[in-house]
Structure 1
Amino acid sequence: MASKVLLVFFLPLVLSLFFSGCAEAQGRLCVGYYSQTCPNAEAIISAEMRKTINSTPSLAGSLLRLHFHDCFVRGCDASVLLNSANGKVAEKDGVPNQSLRGYGVIDTVKAKLEKACPGVVSCADILALVARDVVVLSKGPYWQVPTGRRDGMVSIASETSQLPRPADGISQLIQNFADKGLSAQDLVVLSGAHTIGKSHCSSFSSRINSSDPRIDSNYAATLRMKCKPKHLTTLVQMDPGSFTTFDTGYYMQVSTSRGLFNSDAALLQNPQTRAYVLRQATGSASEFFKDFSDSIVKMGNIGVLTGAAGQIRKKCFAVN
C-alpha cells in the first residue's frame, strides 16, 4: 500500500518534470511539447479531423500530402501554407503544389487552437498532427508525434522543384530522398501513402497515353476512359477500391503493374524497394504500419525550426 501511495505522489511530479524539460528543449522535437502550454491541443485537432473525414473521406490523402510537400521544401516549417504576397510567389502557387487541397481545414484548426491557446501551437506542428490523425481515421496506424516545430517566414515557388515528381525514375527518387536524409526504405514506405486519396489526371496522363510496358494494358485503358483529353483536372483513385482505407492495397496495385504514377512503377526497378513492394503485397499490414510510423516521424524532423527560430503564426496563411 505504501508503495502505491508513493507512486501516486511522485508520478505527477515526474511527469511534470518530463514535460517541463520537453517544453524547454532547444533544437529538438519531443512528444508532449504542449502538455503544459496547450494541453488540449491534440484533442482539438483530433476532434476537427474526425468531423472533416466523416464528411469528406477523400480529404485524408490531401491533408497527408500537405505534410509531405511541406517537409520536402525548406523543411517542416509550414511554408507550404503561406499565401503569395507583395509580388512574391509562394510554394502553394508553384506548379507541383497547384493541385494541393485542404488549406481551409488547416485554417479552421488553427482558428480553434488560437481561441484555446493564443500564439502557442505552430502551423508546422498542426500539419504533422493532422497527418497522423487522418491516417488513424483511415484505419491506419497511430504514432506519437514529436512536436515543438516553429513556423518559417519564407516561401518561394521556385523551390518546389525539390519535390519528387510523379514522372521520376528510381535513381532520381532515391537521390531526392537522400538529399533530405531519407533512405530507399523511407522512399518505398512513404510511397505507401498513395493507398489513400486521389490524383489529377494531369499527373499521369502522358504515361497512359504512351506504350509504357510497365503499366497493365487493361488498367491503362480504364484510366484513359476516365481521363479524357483536356479533362486533366479529373480526379482518379490512387488505390482503386480502397482509396479511403489506409492499407497495403497500394503495394498490391504496384506489384501487378497497376501503379498510377511512373514513380510507383519505378519502385519495382530497384532490388530493395521491389522486395518491399512484393512483401507487403502478400503480407499483413503490421510491418508496413510500423515502418510507416517510423518513416513519417523521420520525415517530420527534416529542417525543423525550434527554439527562437521562426515564429508561431497567428494565421497559417500569413506571417505575423
Structure 2
Amino acid sequence: MAFFWAFLKKYIKYRNMAQTLGLELLPAGGPKRFTLAEIKAATKGFLDPIGRGGFGDVYKGELSDKRVVAVKCLKNVAGGDAEFWAEVTIIARMHHLNLVRLWGFCAEKGQRILVYEYVPNGSLDKFLFRSSRATDQSETGEAAAATDQKPMLDWGVRYRIALGVARAIAYLHEECLEWVLHCDIKPENILLGDDFCPKISDFGLAKLRKKEDMVSMSRIRGTRGYMAPEWVKTDQITPKADVYSFGMVLLEIVSGVRNFEMQGSRIESEDWYFPGWAFDKAFKEMKIHFKLVDRMVKTAMWCLQDRPELRPSMGKVAKMLEGTVEIMEPRKPTIFYLGDE
C-alpha cells in the first residue's frame, strides 16, 4: 500500500506538470525538455561562455549523446511555463537551412533555457570587421594581432552569406504558419557553419520579452545602428523594419566596416550617415565595377529607404540578390523618417 501510494503521488505530480507545460501534446520530433541538472552537466556548470546578447548569455555544452550544443540562458522572459512552452514549440517548428536549429529547452526553478545546435565558426562580425584591439595595440606585436584576426571572406562567400540570410528572413516573414519578426538582425546574430553557410539565431525570441521591454521611446527592440527609423516614430512596426536592418548588414558585408564607424568623408560627424556615404561612393564616385557587388549595393539601398512602403519585401530582396528581377535605380537613403506626409 505504501509503495502504491508513493507511485500515485508521483504520477499525479508529473501528470499535472505535463498538463501545465503542454507536454501531453509534445509533437513527434519536437524539442526535448531538459532538466536543469542535465543542462548543468552538459555545460559543466556554465563554465564555457561563447556569447552574450540582449536575450541572454550563451554557453557551449555537450549532451550525453555527444552532440555539441549552444545553451542560451534567457533573461527578462514574460509569461508562465505554458506560455513559454507554446512559444518554444513555434520556434522549434521553424526549419530552414539558414536558421539555427532549436533542439530543446528547460523551464525549471524560474530558469528559461534554450538548447541550440552549435555553429562552429561563430558570428559573422568576427570575419567582417577588423578588431580595433589588434590594429590599435602594439604591445605584444604580431602574435596578439594574429590570434585576433579571422580570414577575410572572398566575394563569393560574402554573396552566399547575404543570399542565405535574405532567404531565411523571407521564410520567417512569408512562409511560416505564424509569421515572425526578428527585430534584431545584425552580424552578431548571423552564425557561420563549417562551410560558411549562414544561420540566423535569436529568431522568435522578441515575443518572449516582458511587457516593459516592449516598444517604447526608452526601450526599443534591436541594436542601435541597425534599427529602422520608424522605431522612433511609431509603434506600428512591420516586417519592413527587418528589411531595413538587413540592408544595413548587407552594406557591411560589402564594405567590411561597421555602419556606425565614420569613413573618409567631409561631412560633419553628427550628420554622417553610413548608407548615404555608401550611396555616394557607389553611384557618384563610380567605385564599383563588379556586377555582383553592384547588385548587392543597389539591393541594400532599396532596403534602406526611410519610408517603409518604399522598401521591398524580403522575398523580393532575395530575388533581387539572385538577379531574377530587375533592380531599378534607387534614390539616396536619408536618416529621416517622413511619416505620412
Common fold: TM-score over 0.5: no
In our comparison, the structure showing a higher alpha carbon Rg is 2
Structure with the bigger percentage of helix: 1
- Please report the TM-score for the alignment, with normalisation by the length of structure 1: 0.28
Q: Which has the higher contact order (CA 8 A, sep 6+)?
A: 1
